[in-house]
């Protein structure tokens, strides 16, 4: 089975840039999707196919994917960005989620 590794937590100062990584063997050859889950709310898609933003997601949210690491970058971090973030890929006909990263804005 395919595994995705995320840091348990990331902290960022208000207004600075947060980077959340998602590691996997040759993940650069897969399409990576990212979801945000705020406490008590349903997950929301924030990036699809490595670096595409759905409508309504601000431009300061971006993604990249190369080699063995995909990265979600949140610029000018705001208190409202505090949430859990999950990466996701497909492994044949199965769906794989990373373990999730809790983003704290200080």
Partner 1 sequence: QLLESGGALVQPGGSLRLSCSASGFSFSDYAMTWVRQAPGKGLEWVSLIYNSGSQYYAASVKGRFSISRDNSKNTVYLQMNSLRAEDTAIYYCAKDRYASGQGWFDPWGQGTLVTVSS
Binding site for partner 1 (CB under 8 A): 31, 33, 35, 37, 41-45, 48-49, 54, 84, 86, 88, 90, 93-100
- The minimum distance between CB 14 and partner 1, in angstroms, equals 26
Compare residues 79 and 93 and give the one whose CB is closer to partner 1: 93
Compare residues 23 and 99 and give the one whose CB is closer to partner 1: 99
Which of 49-77 are b and which e, b meaning 16 or more Cβ less than 10 Å from the residue's Cβ?
A: ebbebeeebeeebbbebeeeebbbebbeb
Chain center to CA of 74: 9
* Nearest CA-CA partner of 100 in 7, 19, 38, 28: 7
Compare residues 42 and 79 and give the one whose CB is closer to partner 1: 42
- The minimum distance between CB 50 and partner 1, in angstroms, equals 11
Compare residues 44 and 73 and give the one whose CB is closer to partner 1: 44
- The minimum distance between CB 66 and partner 1, in angstroms, equals 19
- The minimum distance between CB 106 and partner 1, in angstroms, equals 23
Per-residue CA distances from 24 to 17, 21, 58, 99, 102 (Å): 23, 10, 27, 12, 19
């Amino acid at each position: 089975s395919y595994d995705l590794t995320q840091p348990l937590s990331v902290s960022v100062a208000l207004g600075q840039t947060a980077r959340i990584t998602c590691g996997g063997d040759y993940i650069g050859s897969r399409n990576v999707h990212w979801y945000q889950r705020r406490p008590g709310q349903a997950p929301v898609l924030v990036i699809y196919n490595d670096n595409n933003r759905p409508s309504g997601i601000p431009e300061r949210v971006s993604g990249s994917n190369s080699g063995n690491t995909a990265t979600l970058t949140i610029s000018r971090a705001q208190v409202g960005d505090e949430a859990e973030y999950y990466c996701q890929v497909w492994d044949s006909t199965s769906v794989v989620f990373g373990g999730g990263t809790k983003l704290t804005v200080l």
